[in-house]
Structure 1
Amino acid sequence: MSATVHTYEARFARQQPIRYISHLDMTRAWERMLRRARLPLAYSEGFNPRPRLAFAAPLPVGVLSLADIVEFVLSQPLEPELVLAALQQQAVPGLAIHQVQLVPPGRAALQARMRQATYSVRLPAADLSGLQQAVARLIAADHVPVRVMRQGQMREYDLRPLVLEASVQLDGDPSLQLRLRHDQQATGRPGDILQALGLDAADAEITRTGLILAEA
């Protein structure tokens, strides 16, 4: 009979000091934080047991986030407020943990519940009038083919079904606002949208502002 375990979700932001670390390094940072917080961790099985954790939607290198979620498993139940306080004391610079909650038993895995992600893209050197026109053309198009490099190979795909909303915000600090599909079948990437709009992602500051998950 397997031991009872308790799954928690932590919501956190990823800011400038850790903007350029990889997803693997982020995973290692969370493993270190969980251990240093002295939480009763549940470990994977096998020759190299590791804390059981999973991210809702790994971030590309260079993208900031106001809305990240990680799921981890404890061998004993603790009040979420105590878990949050313990993790905040061990958080690395640039990682701000906002909330911890206990996941109800039987809920689907975090990645299986992912549906959409929202982004805000600052483009300091962009021609805003030209950008508005390019966004309007993208939204009006039935198909938007793009060629991208994936795992060392060039591939082409239709970007349009992945773009649910796109608009240029002119008030305050001008930015491109995106709502993209993000599930287990397909994921919209903000860098690919910028390419389709004729923009260079290297000139942009991309921030993920929200994750939209199914409730089940």
Structure 2
Amino acid sequence: MIRIRISHTKTGALRYTGNLDMQKVWERTFRRAGLPLAYSQGFHPQPRINQACPLPLGFLSNVELLDVWLNDEMPLEEIRAAVQAAAPAGVSINDLEPIDLHAPRLQTLVDTADYVITLHQVADKAGLDQKIADLLAAPTLLRERRGKTYDLRPMIMAMRSEEGPAPFLQIHLRLTVREGATGRPEEVLLALGLDPFAASIERTQLNLKDPLAAAA
């Protein structure tokens, strides 16, 4: 048995496919690719496919991660070619690497995520920079999600603006991705007084913890 970590994009119409449905998309993709999927044990065996963390509907990504277990060893380039040929539009394979079978679950390794937000509205950079500075200087940023109040501020690790495709501005953002403490880019936009529906959001990087630290 082998365990393979796949880095891939999620673009186009797939941005409107939720995490549970993406699990089914990947199962069909691996079947079409003819890969020897390994299955879990129990009364309802499921293919062993683990995605790193959900991508909210409507977001693009150029670096999603998933682990898949295969019963038989195969050359990485053969796996890559087969998966890319079988993958739906919007999925492009960036990289594959073998992972130790007993390494921690991928979901436990994700620490932070990087985003680029393009503001599809004319904005004043000096004014935006001031809003960002004020937000980062705030000791707390109380927000409400699903009827519960939480503090958004400790989930924001870094944020800056820069010129994007003219005439738009972009916000580069790093947020935590931890159990009970996952920052959401649209909440940051709302805290800045900006309309999330007048922006496009792309996940550009998933940053992983040291596997040894995660296993400790």
What corresponds to 1:162 in structure 2?
A: 155
Query: Which deviations, in whole Å up to 9, do the C-alpha atoms of 1:135-184 show, x marking residues without a partner?
Result: 11111111111122x3xxx1211100000001111255520110111123
1:91 aligns with 2:84: no
Give distance in 2, aligned partners of 1:108 and 1:76: 21
What corresponds to 2:210 in structure 1?
A: 215
Q: Is the 8 A contact 1:56 1:114 kept in 2?
A: yes
Which of residues 55, 60, 66 is equivalent to 1:64? 60
Residues 164 and 17 (structure 1 numbering): CA distance in 2 closer, same or farther, change over 3 Å?
same
1:127 aligns with 2:123: yes
Count of aligned pairs: 208
Give the TM-score taking structure 2 as reference length. 0.91
What corresponds to 1:139 in structure 2?
A: 136
1:187 aligns with 2:188: no
Q: Which runs of 5+ in 2 are unaligned?
A: 212-216
Query: SS where residue 107 of structure 2 aligns?
Result: helix
Residues 83 and 71 (structure 1 numbering): CA distance in 2 closer, same or farther, change over 3 Å?
same
What's the RMSD between the two structures over aligned residues? 1.4
1:117 aligns with 2:117: no
Residues 171 and 23 (structure 1 numbering): CA distance in 2 closer, same or farther, change over 3 Å?
closer
1:34-73 paired onto structure 2 within 5 Å: 34-73=30-69
Query: SS where residue 27 of structure 2 aligns?
Result: helix
Give distance in 1, aligned partners of 2:24 and 2:96: 19
1:6 aligns with 2:13: no
- Give the partner amino acid of 1:138: L
Q: Which runs of 5+ in 1 are unaligned?
A: none
**How far does residue 126 in structure 1 lie from its aligned partner after superposition?**
4.6
Query: Which deviations, in whole Å up to 9, do the C-alpha atoms of 1:106-156 show, x marking residues without a partner?
Result: 3211111111100000111152333222111111111111122x3xxx121
What corresponds to 1:200 in structure 2?
A: 195
**How far does residue 77 in structure 1 lie from its aligned partner after superposition?**
1.4
Sequence identity percentage: 36
Give distance in 1, aligned partners of 2:18 and 2:100: 30
What corresponds to 2:25 in structure 1?
A: 29
Q: Is the 8 A contact 1:124 1:204 kept in 2?
A: yes
**How far does residue 46 in structure 1 lie from its aligned partner after superposition?**
2.9
Give distance in 1, aligned partners of 2:88 and 2:164: 33
